[in-house]
Amino acid sequence: MAAQQNHRAGGSIIDSLGEEIVRIVTPVSICMFLVVILVAVLNSGSSSSPPTINTIATIAYSETTSDSTWDKLKGALLNALVFVVVVTAVTFLLVLLFYFRCTHFLKLYMGFSSFIVLLFLGGEIALFLIRKFSVPIDCFTFLVLLFNFAAVGVFAVFLSKMAIIVTQGYLVAIGMLVAYWFTLLPEWTTWVLLVALALYDLAAVLLPVGPLRLLVELAISRDEDIPALVYEARPVINHDQGSREYEGQRRAWRRRRESGNDSESDHNIVTSDAEVTAPLIQNRVSSAADGQESSVASTDNSFLEGIGLGSSGAIKLGLGDFIFYSVLVGRAAMYDFMTVYACYLAIIAGLGVTLMLLALYQQALPALPVSIAFGVLFYFLTRLLLEEFVVQCSLNLVMF
């Protein structure tokens, strides 16, 4: 036993391999889990339709249950088209503003929209929960608490002098709130929208005229960061500089490994985010449809390139990815929990595949398409094939 312990002191490679991936998978899982809990709690029992929202995503067509399938499909396609067009337009506007160096304005806008999301969307959801659980709280206390929550959130997202766990927590909270609102859209619209956004993400990041690619290239050429909401998986190493401005810059890292040999890797940290807020259409329910297209960026890794299990540097995932993964899982939760598990595994698998491709191609990649494709595929496979099979078996207590 003692001899083995001496060996152990050196540590084994499986101790630290894959750490970055786990650090990204954990917050994504937490966000999805919270959205599923919210959906399960708030949508259970009420056979009446959940509060329908009127946003830009339903401007073209409001789905009702009495329409025929073909009508629903057409309406959903129209909705998705309108939404994607609006998102594209606003992203191009963002590129234009960035080109004219209105960075300060963009930052202020980012802070403002986080405040709106936390205050209004968070407040609405808190009201739903209060109504559901009959929490005895008066409106003044509630307003004070809500305002403080939103204000701290804005600071956490803006300034990076906060403990990183607070920033990460608030980013997950913002993702969760926006995702829950998206799940309130009608069913067909949600699925078609997810697919449309995945295709848009693919086009925007990979095509040479895509807005996100232009944004990324501008940021690289100027060595600046892009003002956007991005989840970073590990703390930035130069704490004294503090601010998030460093994220977009090229920098060379040097990291001493435990065994003592230097591993110097050039890290091109490229983030590409565009934050979009679509204007309110009706003020009956105040919900700002936040669409945040994003791509996954990672650092260069000279070691296990094929697998992408590098062990230095940070992986960054845009908040839009969090949101749309959670929307998919939340929608699956509205059907049954089996689809939730299947879609969760599919999305994590898609994320893993994307990270591997990232390590392979070393450029900014869209994080939505692979995961959404797997997620939608597994949802329909589970709903059509798996459910019948498993229910048959387990109802007869036949298992293998």
Partner 1 sequence: MTVAAGIGYALLALGPSLALFVTVISKKPFLILTVLSSTLLWLVSLIVLSGFWRPFLPLNSAASWPFAVLIITSVAFQEGLRLLFWKVYKRLEDMLDAFADRVSKPRLYPTDKMLIALAGGLGHGAAHAVFFCLSVLTPAFGPATFFADQCPKLPFFLVSSIIALAFATIHTFSMVIAFNGYSDGNKLDQLFVPVVHLVAGMVTLINFTTGGCSIGIPILYIITILTLLHCGKMVWGKLTENQIRL
Q: Under the rule (CB under 8 A), what is the footprint of partner 1?
A: 1, 3-4, 7, 10-19, 21-23, 25, 257, 259, 261, 263, 303-304, 306-307, 309, 336-338, 341-342, 345-346, 348-349, 352, 378, 381-382, 384-386, 388-400
Taking the least distance from each CB to partner 1, the nearer of 125 and 307 is: 307
CB 10 within 8 A of CB 259: yes
Task: Provide CB contacts within 8 A for 360, sequence distance 6+.
Answer: 305, 306, 308
232 three-class SS: strand
Q: Catalytic site residue 321?
A: yes
- Identify the CA nearest to 376 among candidates 337, 350, 357, 396: 350
Task: Return the CA Rg of the chain.
Answer: 22
> Residue 317: what are its φ and ψ, rounded to 5°?
-125, 130
Taking the least distance from each CB to partner 1, the nearer of 16 and 282 is: 16
Taking the least distance from each CB to partner 1, the nearer of 197 and 351 is: 351
Distance of closest approach, residue 342 Cβ to partner 1, in angstroms: 6
Distance of closest approach, residue 231 Cβ to partner 1, in angstroms: 18
Taking the least distance from each CB to partner 1, the nearer of 132 and 239 is: 132
372-386 as b/e: b if 16+ CB within 10 A: bbbbbebbeebbeee
Query: Would you state the torsion angle of the CA atoms of residues 5, 7, 12, 16, taken in this order, to the nearest 10 degrees?
Result: 60
Taking the least distance from each CB to partner 1, the nearer of 217 and 387 is: 387
Query: Would you state the torsion angle of the CA atoms of residues 302, 306, 310, 315, taken in this order, to the nearest 10 degrees?
Result: 110
The one catalytic residue in 225, 273, 290, 321 is 321
Q: Catalytic site residue 262?
A: no
Taking the least distance from each CB to partner 1, the nearer of 313 and 352 is: 352
Helix axes 319-335, 19-43, angle to 10 degrees: 40
Give the Cβ contact number of residue 236 at 10 Å.
17
- Identify the CA nearest to 239 among candidates 307, 160, 140, 143: 160
Query: Would you state the torsion angle of the CA atoms of residues 329, 335, 337, 340, taken in this order, to the nearest 10 degrees?
Result: -20
230 three-class SS: strand
The one catalytic residue in 201, 225, 273, 290 is 201
DSSP state of 246: G
Taking the least distance from each CB to partner 1, the nearer of 153 and 352 is: 352
CB 320 within 8 A of CB 200: no
Distance of closest approach, residue 389 Cβ to partner 1, in angstroms: 3
Active site (catalytic) residues: 201, 321
